[in-house]
Every structure is written in structure tokens, then in C-alpha cells.
């Protein structure tokens, strides 16, 4: 019997025992740092001379792991394995496929602090953020297993007196999974588990920034009983193997989370039919956001400030859902800014592998330089009222940064920064608040802080984002509770963690039998 889905609870690190357990796990993980990790193709572990080097972004001298890099030849071998595995895996009873996910969830749950410790090291995540990431990964495994059991029942269609009709779902074929570095366990887990439980083998190319934690997931799924060839681990240089993965004639789908530029490129390339290809490729893409919290004149201003700050600076703003724009009614504008600054002053910044801090480093030198450049742009476009400091002496640290008095069309109001920078602008009424909120090419998340029911109902229809929140921040969607995905240039609105997600990896079939 499979129990109803319930999301994985978060760990409270104010409890001393929980704190000690994570500290013990961090100590254990440190003894594993610097190890080499292989490719996994058809169950075989392959070590290559050329390696991806994962470093601790909070301590540039610390190597987390060295992960073998796949070439096009390795990708070709992986496709051969996936095509062969498809013939048997698609015929494995759905209950057995789902139970692989359930066993994997149980393994991760038992080793939750260990996986959090790896995330802290490999992705630079503070403790609470790492714990939430692991919990979300467990949720994806549990939720998608249950969803596939439900979809296995097919859908009701009508029969005639002399005819029986059956409408059911079948697996598509092998596909490619290209996840990001910011949710280096959760999104990797979800984007891999969904097509696999639907009956499709996958080639997983993790982010070159966080390949170690991705390999740990591969180990878990192997331990849970996933047959060889169903999950092939092919980390590598995107410039060398990225297009090859997307273009390949045996790629049936590309499940991608990342930048707008890369997502659009994948969409374009996937549309081209390759020699020997007999199907249209599906692209499931989540491509980022420029997310807005709007605050009207009726709002609880303490709640508004708290929602803005924690949505903007959680995991150093390295979330596609992060609040990077706060649009405030002119009557309460200055007060919300002042309250936000006071909260931002309390945030701690440091190395999460050494202490439980609120914010850590950003992921790498390129992101550090990009964010630092946007801070300089912000100084020209508006007024810097808090933060702005950056230090890459030991790690890639950008401190919480707040700008005010921005023109709604300023660059830092329009372009995705992906760092701890939030820009404030004012509006004269609710019409203008909504107009500014909708004036970007993105449509991922947003929030409205208001006690005016008419304003909330207006936003329900006219605030054009995939995930809209009332009187809370615009981050922290929960699997099964707030399915996640956006409109416009935020992607294909795939709604990860929702009841429709698995259908992206399935084909519907109707069989009619006449008597």
C-alpha cells in the first residue's frame, strides 16, 4: 500500500541534536574531498584523464571532487545503452518502476544530513537551503512515483455496444536531462526521476559546477535497483557535448533548466530533424525569471519587508524565483525600504562548511564578475542604499545589495542578475503596480502583499506569472503543493512537482477492439 503524498519536513538547526548531526556529516564529507568520480554508461564506471574540477565556492583552494568528462564518443555509447535499455525498461511494470523511486527516497532520507553536507560543499549552500534542497529531491521521488501509479490507470473514454476502447500512456524513448547548479540535488533528482519512472532511459549531463552531488544521486538510484543503461551519467563541457546531446537522432526529449539563452538555443536546435530521426523532439524548459513582489498601501509593511528580503537574498539570490524587483506604492515606499534595510543588516555571510550562516558565496568567478558588474550598473541607474560590497579573496562573496528609485525599464529592473541584488521602484496606484510587474519578458514567480481583497483578485487574473503568491515571499514552492513553472521567456510552464508533469515524457495511445 502506498500512502498519500506528504512533503518531507525540514530540519530545525536550532535544535542542538540536529546541528550536531550536520556538523558530524560535514566532518565525514571533508574526509572524502578531492576524490575522482567516473562516467557511468550502461552500468560501467569509466574514468577519463580530462576532469571537471568542482571547488568550494566559499574557499577557492578546496577541491570537492574531480569528475571524469565525457566526449562525443562516450555520448554515443550512452545512447546505444539507452536505446537498448528502453526496450526492457518500458515494459517493467509501473509499480516496480515507482518502487525504485520510493526506495531511492528512503535511502536519501536515511542519509539526509550527509547529502546536505555534500550540497554545502559542492554548491555552497547554507544549511537551511541545503536541507530544503534535499527535502525537495525526496519529494520529487515520492511524488512522481505516485503520479505514475495514477497515470498507469489511463483515462476514461467511451465504449460502444460492439467496441471496447482503452486510452493509456506509453514511454517515449531515450532523452537528455540538463539540470542547473543552483538546486544541484533537487532539480537533478526531479528532472531525472520523472522521465525514468515514465519508462524512458536518460542521459544526464549535470552542471559542470556541481557534478559531485549529481554523481551521488546516480549511486542512490543504482542502490535502489535501477537497471543498467536506464541512467547514463555523462558530465562534460557544454561546448563539446551540449549540442551533440540535443541534436542526436535518438533524443526524444530534452529536459532543461538554466538560462534563457541556452534554453532558446536548445528549442531552436531540437526543432531540426536529423538524419534517421523519426519523431519530433519535446523540449521541457525552465529558463529563469525577473521576479517581482508588489506592495500596496494596505499591506502589512513588516511582512512586506520580510518577504522581499528573504526572497531576494536566500541562497544569495541564486534562484530563478528570487525577488529581484520590489514595486511599492508611493505612500509606503520609503517605510518598506527602511524596514528592508534593517532586516538585511541582520543577515550573516560566510562559509557554510564552517558555520551556519544565512548567506554564502555565489557559485563561481564568472557569476561573481557578472553580479559585480550589475552592481556598478545599478549605481548609475538608481541609488545604492545598502550593501554593494564584493570580495573574491578567498571565495566568491557578494553581500546583500539594495537599490532604490529605479526606472521600471532600467537594466537592473529588466535583466536577470542571479545574485543578491534587489531594486525598488515606486508606483502611484495598483494599476501601475501591476503594469510594472508585467513589463519584463519573464513570467515565473511573483507576490502581492496586500489586505485589499479586490487587489488580490485582480492580481490573480492580471499578474502574468506561473507561480503567484499572496502575502508571502515569491520563493520556496513545495512539490505537490505549488507546482513550479512559468510563462513567457521563463519557459514552457512545465509545472514541475505537479499533476501534469509526467505527461511531458509520455505518449497517449488509444486501442479500439471491435467484437
Q: Which of 247, 229, 241, 202 is nearest to 71 (CA)?
A: 241
Which residue in 114, 142, 286, 416 is the catalytic one? Answer: 286
Q: Is 441 part of the annotated catalytic residue set?
A: no
C-alpha to C-alpha distance for 102 and 265, rounded to whole angstroms: 35
Which strands make up the sheet holding 323-329, listed edge to edge? 383-386, 401-404, 421-427, 323-329, 291-295, 445-449, 467-470
C-alpha to C-alpha distance for 302 and 316, rounded to whole angstroms: 21
C-alpha to C-alpha distance for 116 and 135, rounded to whole angstroms: 9
- Phi, psi for 473 (deg, rounded to 5): -70, 175
Contact yes or no for 493/474 (Cβ under 8 A): no
* CA distance to 25, 306, 323, per residue, from 446 (Å): 36, 15, 8
Contact yes or no for 353/451 (Cβ under 8 A): no
C-alpha to C-alpha distance for 92 and 87, rounded to whole angstroms: 10
**CA 485 from centroid of its chain's CA atoms:** 10
Burial 494-514 (b: 16+ CB within 10 A, else e): bbbbbeebbebbbeeeeeeee
Q: Which of 497, 293, 318 is nearest to 421 (CA)?
A: 318
Q: What share of the chain is helix, strand, coil (3-state, %, to 5)?
A: 40, 20, 40
Which residue in 8, 189, 297, 320 is the catalytic one? Answer: 320
Please list the alpha-helical segments (H only) found in 275-422. Answer: 301-313, 333-344, 365-381, 411-414
Q: Is 474 part of the annotated catalytic residue set?
A: no
- Which residues are known to be catalytic? 286, 320
Amino acid at each position: 500500500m502506498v500512502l498519500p503524498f506528504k512533503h518531507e519536513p525540514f530540519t530545525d538547526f536550532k535544535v542542538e541534536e540536529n546541528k550536531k548531526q550536520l556538523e558530524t556529516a560535514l566532518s565525514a564529507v571533508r574526509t572524502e574531498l578531492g576524490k575522482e568520480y567516473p562516467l557511468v554508461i550502461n552500468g560501467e564506471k569509466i574514468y577519463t584523464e580530462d576532469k571537471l574540477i568542482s571547488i568550494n565556492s566559499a574557499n577557492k583552494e578546496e577541491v570537492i571532487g574531480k569528475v571524469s568528462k565525457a566526449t562525443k564518443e562516450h555520448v554515443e555509447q550512452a545512447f546505444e545503452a539507452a536505446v537498448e535499455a528502453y526496450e526492457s525498461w518500458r515494459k517493467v511494470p509501473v509499480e516496480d518502476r515507482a518502487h525504485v523511486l520510493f526506495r531511492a527516497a528512503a535511502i536519501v532520507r536515511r542519509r539526509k544530513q550527509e547529502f546536505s553536507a555534500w550540497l554545502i560543499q559542492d554548491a555552497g549552500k547554507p544549511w537551511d537551503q541545503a536541507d530544503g534542497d534535499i527535502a525537495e529531491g525526496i519529494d520529487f521521488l515520492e511524488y512522481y512515483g505516485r503520479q505514475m501509479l495514477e497515470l498507469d490507470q489511463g483515462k476514461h473514454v467511451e465504449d460502444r455496444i460492439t467496441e471496447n476502447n482503452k486510452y493509456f500512456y506509453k514511454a517515449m524513448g531515450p532523452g537528455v536531462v540538463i539540470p542547473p547548479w543552483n538546486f544541484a540535488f533537487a532539480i537533478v533528482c526531479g528532472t531525472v526521476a520523472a522521465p525514468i519512472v515514465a519508462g524512458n532511459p536518460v542521459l544526464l549531463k549535470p552542471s559542470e559546477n556541481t557534478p559531485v552531488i549529481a554523481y551521488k544521486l546516480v549511486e542512490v538510484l543504482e542502490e535502489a535497483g535501477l537497471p543498467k543503461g536506464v541512467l547514463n551519467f555523462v558530465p562534460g563541457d557544454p561546448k563539446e557535448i551540449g549540442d551533440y546531446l540535443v541534436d542526436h537522432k535518438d533524443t526524444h526529449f530534452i529536459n532543461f533548466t538554466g538560462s534563457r539563452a541556452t534554453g532558446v538555443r536548445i528549442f531552436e536546435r531540437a526543432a531540426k530533424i536529423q538524419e534517421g530521426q523519426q519523431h519530433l523532439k519535446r523540449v521541457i524548459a525552465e529558463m529563469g525569471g525577473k521576479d517581482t513582489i508588489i506592495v500596496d498601501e494596505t499591506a502589512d509593511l513588516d511582512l512586506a519587508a520580510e518577504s522581499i528580503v528573504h526572497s531576494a537574498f536566500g541562497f544569495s539570490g541564486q534562484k530563478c524565483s528570487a525577488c529581484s524587483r520590489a514595486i511599492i506604492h508611493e505612500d509606503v515606499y520609503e517605510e518598506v525600504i527602511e524596514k528592508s534595510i534593517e532586516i538585511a543588516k541582520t543577515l550573516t555571510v560566510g562559509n557554510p562548511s564552517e558555520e551556519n550562516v544565512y548567506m554564502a558565496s555565489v557559485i563561481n568567478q564568472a557569476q561573481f564578475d557578472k553580479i559585480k558588474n550589475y552592481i556598478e550598473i545599478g549605481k548609475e541607474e538608481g541609488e545604492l542604499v545598502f550593501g554593494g560590497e564584493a570580495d573574491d579573496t578567498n571565495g566568491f562573496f557578494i553581500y546583500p545589495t539594495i537599490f532604490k528609485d529605479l526606472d521600471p525599464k532600467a537594466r537592473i529592473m529588466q535583466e536577470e542578475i542571479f545574485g543578491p541584488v534587489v531594486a525598488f521602484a515606486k508606483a502611484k496606484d495598483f494599476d501601475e503596480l501591476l503594469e510594472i510587474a508585467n513589463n519584463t519578458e519573464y513570467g515565473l514567480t511573483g507576490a502581492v502583499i496586500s489586505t485589499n481583497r479586490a487587489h488580490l483578485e485582480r492580481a490573480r487574473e492580471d499578474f502574468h506569472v506561473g507561480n503567484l503568491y499572496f502575502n508571502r515571499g515569491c520563493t520556496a514552492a513545495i512539490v505537490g503543493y505549488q507546482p513550479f513553472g512559468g510563462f513567457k521567456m521563463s519557459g514552457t510552464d512545465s509545472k514541475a512537482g505537479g499533476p501534469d508533469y509526467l505527461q511531458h515524457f509520455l505518449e497517449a495511445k488509444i486501442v479500439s477492439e471491435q467484437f
